[in-house]
Structure 1
């Protein structure tokens, strides 16, 4: 699709930003929806805590496995083709999940979903770079990230309301249909632009190895992995059971708590770029700002591990908002590499973050399963240990990051 006249900003928003935003909305909905649906799934298919963690967390493994080849595919074939084809796999996975009768089928379905939505953010960011000038990128990227936050919100109270008219199978089947529609919209609506890919495949793979040999990369990556990985795992699955077990909330109130957490996350993602720009102008580097945000996030996780439940909505909002702080390290890292490596720097960090997310999501379930439930709830000690382990990893990552933090400068 081409035109002799340059399209207007409004046209580009409707034909580029909004179709990709819809894809990322669905990606985040898939990522977090099992926090509400897991109890319903467990009533029709027998699941223990480790099964729930594996069933939900396999999404992160297939998502992570796609990241390195994804960077190469986006450079060679463009975001429209790559994401629309992958979303068809996500739709197939969601439909398979809705038809599953046993744990292996649930795992296969979620694995396909994770693979299918693996391009949703990276493809959108690449498309924005192709179609918009640099000055417009923070706003356009913010729209994409905000759409993801709205997807997380949609996966909470709205899904709980949907369960009044259908079951978890109907929810997954419905989202499968929406995913297929999103794939078709991307394929038909988004214009093509030259990808700008250059060099041989071997040279491009060698550049990925250059990233993983970088000391700067490994100074930042562990903190981002520990913070964002555990945040995805807890917000996407285990926050719901925590609200029920430790805060004593009903299923409806727990869904409301998840909505508040997701809304806090959406606001955090939308605001972190603008806040970082303001602080940097006043001498506080993004590296340091991100570390402070992760420190606040560690405090909120520590309160959850200790079972503090005096104000669960406030804690949920603070946990969600501060959980977005580590997203700044995508921008921090890309500034430490040549521009030609920006996409692969982001997918390399994504790979590690999603491995950490799977490990956290499955590991928390495994730890909880070491205790017997009492009246359908895991005891406080189980939650203290299960959440204390990712908290310890987060604090270790922050300690490793601290020497690189600066109070001024562009890094």
Structure 2
């Protein structure tokens, strides 16, 4: 593998107005990606009717979309290190626009599946591109909070999917509603071309990786325990809110808990609002206590497990307040998952961040697609009559599979936390003590801007 690092002549201020402008444009692309990703959450029941599919087939839409997303993270990371965020944001917009437009006109299950796969490929290019921009354009002391802002503000795309898309589907119908949604991508392509810039330096850091060296490149990044600590943190905290918001939350509330469709949609929107509020709190905690970032993730996951247990152990529908508490606890997993990228940043030089972030991002989405698929399988095994036949007992059994993933994830987070600390003490003496004292530690490959 040959690496070419460009000259580090700074031509723009870091963490100032231009950085915020570029971040806002990239954030708008991420909001659109979350919207496209979440669109099936409120259209799931309509999709089941339009394509005449079972619960397993319905879950396959989102599972395949997330499988493509997760499967492309490492290749996208390599491309990101080589070509930069701007080109990948444009590529992502092109694919998402094409996929959503194809989904608008799809009338058969196979055609719709292909459309969602293309959408997933575009989605795969967006988030890690935004995170890389945050890393290179903001001061180290700013990065944890801006990373949290990226995640929580990006979730407004789910609000847009939960309310305005529902309205468009009712007023315009399936085809026109999704066609209108796809057109937003064209506008953002123009804005990205005009505003986005990869780096505040005259030449951005790039990495030229030959194909024959790709496997070794990925093994090197994977071998860093900080990368795997970030991945398992993302795995453990992110999947539940993704499963709930993208597919199974709406049917669980309507068919399992007896809520009206309007109330279920309102709760999904309220969850996104809670994501934003809790993200600010977690961002401040992560910046203040860098040594305890993994424990922050585990604490959030423990609260999620307790809330879900309280709901699922009941043989009758849970009180509305308890369902709301469970939903908000679940939503907190979104901001908690962002800690995984902050962990990876502490262990990785800037020229390898694309690959590291890609591996981290695989964790939560791989857990999401496996959990989502398993829920659909359990539902079909218990009741073969389709979506309208599922009751509370079916959903209690199906949603309980989440505990398998939480248990595995917590075990791995604790395991790689120990390995990560040992790695830093061995390779970077003093780093652990610095983080214990509440001061951010920067990998030597990142430079010392803002410290």
Question: TM-score normalised to the size of structure 1?
Answer: 0.89
Q: What secondary structure sits across from 1:33 in the alignment?
A: helix
> In the alignment, which of 248, 251, 270 is matched to residue 258 of structure 2?
248
Distance 1:313 1:390 in 2: 18
What is residue 385 of structure 1 aligned with on the other side?
A: 397
Q: 1:62 to 1:77 in 2, by over 3 A?
A: same
CA shift, 1:106, in A, is 1.0
Conserved? CA contact 2:267–2:324, under 8 Å = yes
Q: Is the 8 A contact 1:225 1:356 kept in 2?
A: yes
Indicate the residue corresponding to 2:268 in structure 1. Answer: 258
The match for 1:344 among 341, 355, 376 is 355
Partner of 2:426: none
Q: Distance in 2 between matches of 1:9 and 1:110?
A: 38
Counterpart for residue 354 of structure 1: 365
171-180 vs 334-343, greater mean Cα deviation:
334-343
Distance in 2 between residues matched to 1:18 and 1:226, nearest whole Å? 28
Report the Cα distance in structure 1 between the residues aligned to 2:233 and 2:198, rounded to whole angstroms: 37
Per-residue CA deviation, residues 148-180 of structure 1 (Å, 9 max, x unaligned), is 121112111232233332223322211110122
Cα distance change on mapping 1:135 and 1:278 into 2, 3 Å:
closer
Q: 1:186 to 1:239 in 2, by over 3 A?
A: same
- Indicate conservation of the 8 Å contact 1:138/1:273, yes or no: yes
Residue 335 of structure 1 aligns to a residue in which SS?
Answer: helix
Partner of 1:13: 20
CA distance in 2, matches of 1:89, 1:199: 24
- 1:57 shift after superposition: 2.0
Q: Report deviation, 1:374.
A: 8.9
| Contact 2:70-2:362 within 8 A present in 1 as well | yes
2:221 is aligned with 1:197: no
Distance 2:223 2:148 in 1: 30
Residue 320 (1) aligns with residue 320 (2): no
Establish whether residue 45 from structure 1 lines up as the match of residue 51 from structure 2. Answer: yes
Partner of 1:30: 36
Distance 1:185-1:245 versus aligned 2 partners, 3 A rule: same
User: Which ranges of structure 1 fall in alignment gaps of 5 or more residues?
Assistant: none
TM-score (norm 2): 0.82
Look up the match of 1:119. 125
Partner of 2:84: 78
Q: CA 1:271–1:343 in 2, change beyond 3 Å: closer, same or farther?
A: farther
1:176 lines up with 2:187 in the alignment: no
Is 1:152 equivalent to 2:158 in the alignment? yes
Report whether the alignment pairs 1:290 with 2:324: no
Once the two structures are overlaid, the 10-residue window that deviates more, 398-407 or 161-170, is 398-407
The question of whether the paired residues in 1 share the 8 Å contact of 2:205 and 2:351 is answered with no
Q: In 2, are the aligned partners of 1:64 and 1:355 still within 8 Å (CA)? A: yes
In structure 2, do the counterparts of structure 1 residues 168 and 226 end up closer, same or farther at CA, with 3 Å as the change threshold? farther
Partners in 2 of 1:276 and 1:129 — Cα distance? Answer: 16
- Contact kept? 1:246, 1:309, Cα under 8 Å: no
The answer (yes or no) to whether the contact 1:89–1:115 under 8 Å persists in 2 is yes
CA distance in 1: counterparts of 2:137 and 2:233, whole angstroms: 32
Distance in 2 (alpha carbons) for counterparts of 1:23 and 1:11: 17
Q: Which residue of 1 aligns with 2:406?
A: 394
Distance (Å, rounded) in 1 between the aligned partners of 2:136 and 2:349? 17
- Change in Cα spacing, 1:212 to 1:129, as seen in structure 2 (3 Å) is closer
Alpha-carbon spacing, 1:222–1:18, altered in 2? closer, same or farther (3 Å) = closer
8 Å Cα contact 2:271/2:331 also seen in 1: yes
Matches of 1:198 and 1:317 in 2, distance apart?
A: 41
Paired positions, count: 405
Q: Deviations over 1:79-116 (max 9, x none)?
A: 11121122111100001111111111111111111101
Matches of 1:191 and 1:218, distance apart in 2: 29
Q: Which runs of 4+ in 1 moved over 6 A?
A: none
Q: Distance in 2 between matches of 1:401 and 1:143?
A: 24
Distance 1:256 1:326 in 2: 24
Q: How far 1:377 moved relative to its partner?
A: 4.4
5+ residue gaps, structure 2: 1-9, 422-431, 437-451
RMSD over aligned Cα, in angstroms?
Answer: 2.8
Per-residue Cα deviation, 1:173-207 (whole angstroms, up to 9, x for no partner): 11110122212221232235433124543556523
Match of 2:374 among 360, 363, 376: 363
Aligned match of 1:329: 340
* Aligned counterparts of 2:11 and 2:74: Cα–Cα separation in 1: 35
Aligned partner of residue 72 in structure 2, secondary structure: helix
Distance (Å, rounded) in 2 between the aligned partners of 1:87 and 1:166: 24
Show CA shifts across 1:121-160 (max 9, x none). Answer: 1111222333333333334334422331211121112322
Q: Does the 8 A contact of 2:51 with 2:109 survive in 1?
A: yes
The separation in 2 between residues aligned to 1:222 and 1:296, in whole angstroms, is 18
